[in-house]
Amino acid sequence: MTTALITGADGFIGSHLTELLVREGYKVKALSQYNSFNYWGWLEDVECRSDIEVLSGDVRDPHYCKHITKDVDVVFHLAALIAIPYSYVAPDSYVDTNVKGTLNICQAALENGVGRVIHTSTSEVYGTARYVPIDEKHPLQAQSPYSASKIGADAMAMSFFNAFNLPLTVARPFNTYGPRQSARAVIPTIISQIASGRKQIQLGDLTPTRDFNYVADTCRGFLELARCDAAIGETVNIGSNFEISIGDTLELIRELMHSDVEFVSDQQRLRPEKSEVFRLWCDNSRIRALTGFQPEYDIRRGMQSTIDWFTQPHNLAKYKADIYNV
C-alpha cells in the first residue's frame, strides 16, 4: 500500500484530496496545523476520518518535517498561508510558512528518500495575464506578498529537483472552488450571504476574470501528476481552460439560487490597484498531454454542487456571512 503524506490536509483542497486518496487505496497521513484545541479543521468533516492518521504539527519546524516524512512514498505539499488580503498586513508570516515551510518539506523528503513530492503552487504567481490562455512559460509577476512568497516557494521546490534530483513536480492550480472553501473567497462570500437572507451583498471589483476549477477536478489533477513519471521536474497548470468574469460568476450564482440580491461595492474588499490580478485563464494542454486529464465539472455543474453544500444549515452555520473575512 502506498503511503501518502498530505500537508495542509486540514484545509479546503487538502481535505478533499485526503478523501480522494483514501478512496484510491492510499494509506494517508494527514497533517493539520497544531493548535491547543486539538481541532483538525476540515478533517473534522471528512468521510474517512477513521481511515487516516491525523498528525498535528507545523511545516515551519524542520525537525518535525523530518519526523513526519519517514517511511512516506509520496508527499502532497499543500500547507500554506493563502489569503491575499492578510498578506498585505502580515507578509513575514507568508515567507515563514510558504518559503521556509517548503524548504523544510523538500529537505526532509530528500533526507528520508521520499519517492515523489507534489508541491502546490498557485495561478496568482502569473499576475495579470500578459497573454491568454496562460501556459507554464508565462512570466511570473509578484503582485502581492502572497504571490511573491509562492514564487519563492516554487523556486525553492524546483531547486531541489535541479540540485539534488528530488523527484518533484510543481502543480499549479488555478482558482479552485467547491464545498469547504474559505469564507474569504469570492464564491463562498456570495453563496453564504445569499443563503443567509441578505438583500445586498458587498463585493470588490467584478471585472477581473478567473479560470474556476471545481475541487474534485483539482484533486484529480494532483493525483494524475503524482502517478506520472514524465511530470517529474515539470511545472504543470491545473485548470479548466475556461474564463469567466467575477461579475458573470455572481450572475450565475444568483440565477442558480433564484435570488434577486443586489451587489454593492465595498472599498475594503478592493485590492490595491497594482496588486489586483485582472485576468487569469488557464492553458491546461500540458497536463492533458502528460496525463490525459480533462475536467469533469463545467462551471454550472460545479457551482450547483457548491451551492447545494453551502445551503445545508449545518454547513452554512460555519460561515460568518455578516463580516468580511480577511
The pLDDT of 274-298, averaged and rounded, is 94
Instruction: Please state the rounded mean pLDDT for residues 154-181.
Output: 98
User: Could you give the count of Cα atoms lying within 13 Å of 66 in the half-sphere of its Cβ?
Assistant: 5
101 Cβ contact partners less than 8 Å away, ≥ 6 residues apart: 7, 59, 60, 79, 80, 153
Say if residues 310 and 191 touch (Cβ distance below 8 Å): yes
Report angle CA 37, 42, 45 to the nearest 5 degrees. 100
> Is pLDDT of 92 > 60?
yes
The answer to whether residues 103 and 117 touch, using CB atoms and an 8 Å cutoff, is no
CATH no., domain 3-176+213-238: 3.40.50.720
Task: Please compute the mean of the pLDDT values over residues 220-244 and round it to a whole number.
Answer: 98
Grid coordinates belonging to 210: 478567473
**Pairwise CA distance, residues 309 & 312, whole Å:** 6
Q: How many whole angstroms separate alpha carbon 74 and alpha carbon 4?
A: 5
The 3-state DSSP class for residue 44 equals helix
Average pLDDT along the chain: 94
Q: How confident is the model at residue 326 (pLDDT cuts 50, 70, 90)?
A: low
CB count within 10 Å of CB 35 equals 12
How would DSSP label each residue in 253-270? HHHHTT--PEEEE-GGGS
pLDDT(178) > 60: yes
Domains 3-176+213-238 and 179-210+244-278+298-316 are alike in CATH topology: no
Alpha helices by DSSP H, listed for 134-181, are 145-164
What is the domain partition of the chain in residue ranges? 3-176+213-238, 179-210+244-278+298-316
CA 100 to chain centre: 18
pLDDT in tens, 15-25: 999 999 999 99
Report pTM.
0.95
CATH for 179-210+244-278+298-316, among 3.90.1150.10, 3.20.20.70, 1.10.287.110, 3.90.25.10? 3.90.25.10
Provide the b/e sequence for 250-261 (b: ≥16 CB within 10 Å). bebbbebbebeb
Measured in degrees and rounded to the nearest 5, phi and psi for residue 212 equal -85, 130
